[in-house]
Amino acid sequence: MLTEKQYNLLMFINKVNRETGQCPSFDEMKDAIGLKSKSGIHALITSLEERNFIRRLPHKARAMEVVRLPRFKPQAIIDEENKREQAIKNGSVQIPLYGKIAAGQPIEALADETETIAVPFNMVDKGQFYALKIEGNSMIEAGILNGDTAIIKKQNQADDGKIVVALVDNQEATLKVLKKNGEYVQLVPCNKNYKIKTLEANRVKIQGVLSGIIRKY
């Protein structure tokens, strides 16, 4: 039986091949299954090729075809689907609450897997999610207020203009609008009283994209 990542990569390659007639790029594969490096994709492709699920096509860069699909899903995926079906019935799902994040001056965001929060199921789609408590007022013009709970989808890439969790210098995390500018990125507040931060791109890591906000009155 395939591992969860092997299965997800195989199904992604098959889906893109059927829809576009082309093989996805390594970057697209990496983002689709949540890996941080292309080397992990190479290893998964090799394992799928050795087990005769895919075949590389000669004389074509990156080109490969799906030879066969597995008969069974990995147990981890079955368990996740069962959890989602139950969540639909219950109307909510539990996700980790990772402490506080600044919407003003950056502060360290601590991951605490022991604390969870219930969120409406329609706020989370396929993928991994976590929640952060907002501190500060730098995003008030985007409707994000001090004390809100931000629902974040885990991913390490984001489109220009998205509201992201940005980790600066591997130490401090902040919630800001991402603006890309060549070798630099800007972390843009949504409050005219706060300044835009311009940083070298290699100093900033994306840890997630804002999916929604929960507010208690």
Checking if the pLDDT of 184 tops 70, the result is yes
Nearest 5°: phi and psi at 92? -150, 165
Checking if the pLDDT of 169 tops 80, the result is yes
Q: Which of 8-17, 29-38, 127-136 has the lowest mean pLDDT?
A: 29-38
Closest CA to 138 of 216, 210, 198, 195: 195
CATH number of the domain that residue 68 is part of: 1.10.10.10
CB 141 within 8 A of CB 115: no
> Residue 190 falls within a domain, yes or no?
yes
Same domain, 151 and 123: yes
> Residue 80 falls within a domain, yes or no?
no
The Cα 105–Cα 164 span in angstroms is 15
pLDDT of residue 179: 96
Range of the domain at 196: 91-214
pLDDT band at 72 (very low <50, low <70, confident <90, very high): confident
pLDDT of residue 87: 64
- Residue-averaged pLDDT of the chain: 85
pLDDT band at 188 (very low <50, low <70, confident <90, very high): very high
Q: Which of 116-130, 136-150, 196-210 has the lowest mean pLDDT?
A: 116-130
pLDDT of residue 100: 81
pLDDT band at 47 (very low <50, low <70, confident <90, very high): very high
**What digits encode the pLDDT tens for the residues 91-111?**
778 888 888 887 665 544 555
> Residue 84 falls within a domain, yes or no?
no
pTM for the full predicted model: 0.59
The Cα 188–Cα 195 span in angstroms is 8
Residues in a beta bridge with 186:
179, 198
Share of the chain above pLDDT 70, in %: 90
By annotation, the residues acting in catalysis are: 138, 176
Checking if the pLDDT of 54 tops 70, the result is yes
Same domain, 106 and 40: no
Checking if the pLDDT of 85 tops 80, the result is no
The one-character DSSP state at 190 is S
Q: What is the per-residue DSSP string for 119-159?
A: EEGGG--SS-EEEEEEESSTTGGGT--TT-EEEEE--S---
pLDDT band at 75 (very low <50, low <70, confident <90, very high): confident
Task: Name the domain count of the chain.
Answer: 2
Within 21-138, residue ranges assigned H as helices are 26-33, 38-50, 75-90
Same domain, 106 and 196: yes
